[in-house]
Structure 1
Amino acid sequence: MEFTYYNGKLIGQMEYGFLPISPNTEMGYRPMELFVSSLTGCSTSVLANILVKKRIDYKRIDVHVSAARNPEEANRIEQMTFHVRVQTDTADNAVQAEKLAGLVLKNCGMIQSVIGSINIQYQVAFTPDQPKKGDVA
C-alpha cells in the first residue's frame, strides 16, 4: 500500500482504487469510519462464510455498529457493539446465534487484532425473510 499526504488529506493507492482519508468529511473518509468499516467488513465476511459452512441460507446481513470513545485518552475507542441481523427463513435460535457470534469473534483477524484493548460485543439475531412488495403471502 502506498499513501501520499497533500492538501489536508491522505490518499491511499489500493488495489481497488484510491482511498481519500481526512478528518474533514468533505475531503475524505474519517479514520474512525475506516476503522469501524474494517472491523465490520472482516467480521461480516467471516459470519457469511460460517453461515455457508453451517448451511444456513440467508438473504442479507445488516449490521449496526456503535462505538464509545474516551475524550480523556486521545478520544480512543474503548467499546464497540455490533448488532447483526441475519435475514433468513431459519427459525430464531438464540443459542445458535450466540455460538455464531463467538465464532466470528474468534476467527475475525481484525477484531482479534484489537480485542485486548477494545471491549467488543458482537450480537447476532435472526430475522424473518421479508417478502418483496407485490409478493403474495
Structure 2
Amino acid sequence: MDFQMTEHGFTHTTSFDTLHVSGDETYGFRPYQLLVSSIAVCSGGVFRKILKKKRISFDDMSLSADVVRNVDGVNEVTDVSLHFVITGTDASESTIQKALDLATKNCPIVQSVNKSIRITETFTLIK
C-alpha cells in the first residue's frame, strides 16, 4: 500500500475510491477508527461466512463496536467489544456461540492484535 502526504494527513487510492486518513476526523478517518473497523468487519465477515457454511440461515446481521483507549498512556486502543445482532434465525444460542468462537479463531485481524488488544464478542438473537 502506498500513502501520499496531504496538508492534514495521508491518502491511499484504490480502484474503488480514495481513503483519507488524518488525526483530525474533519479531514478523514482517524487511524484508530480504521483499526477498530478492520477488527469489526473482519470478524463479522468471517462470522457470516461460517454461519453460511454451516447452513445457519438468518435474515440480517449488524454489529457495533465499543472501544476503550488508555488516556494515561499514548491513547492506545486497549479493548474492543463487538456486539452482533442476528435477526431471523432459528439457531440456538449455543450453535451461534460455537460459530462465533470459530470466527474469532479464524479472523486474521483479530488474531493479529489479540495479544495487545482485549477483544470480546457477544451477540443477541432476534427471532
Calculate the TM-score normalised by the size of structure 1: 0.86
Supply the RMSD in Å over aligned alpha carbons. Answer: 1.3
Counterparts of 1:6-25 in structure 2 under 5 Å?
6-25=6-25
CA contact (8 A) 1:100 1:124 kept: no
**Corresponding residue for residue 126 of structure 1:** 125
CA deviation map 1:4-29 (0-9, x unaligned): 01211210122422100012122111
Cα deviation for residue 110 of structure 1 reads 0.3
Aligned length: 127
SS in 1 for 2:72: helix
Q: Deviation string for 1:76-112 (max 9, x for gaps)?
A: 1111111101112314x22122212211110000000
Gaps in structure 1 of 5+ consecutive residues: 129-137
State TM-score, norm by structure 2. 0.93
Q: Residue type of the partner of 2:66?
A: S
Query: Highest CA radius of gyration, 1 or 2?
Result: 1
Structure 2: 5+ residue stretches without partners: none
Matched, 1:114 2:93: no
Alignment identity in percent?
A: 28
Report if aligned partners of 1:42, 1:109 keep a CA contact under 8 Å in 2. Answer: yes
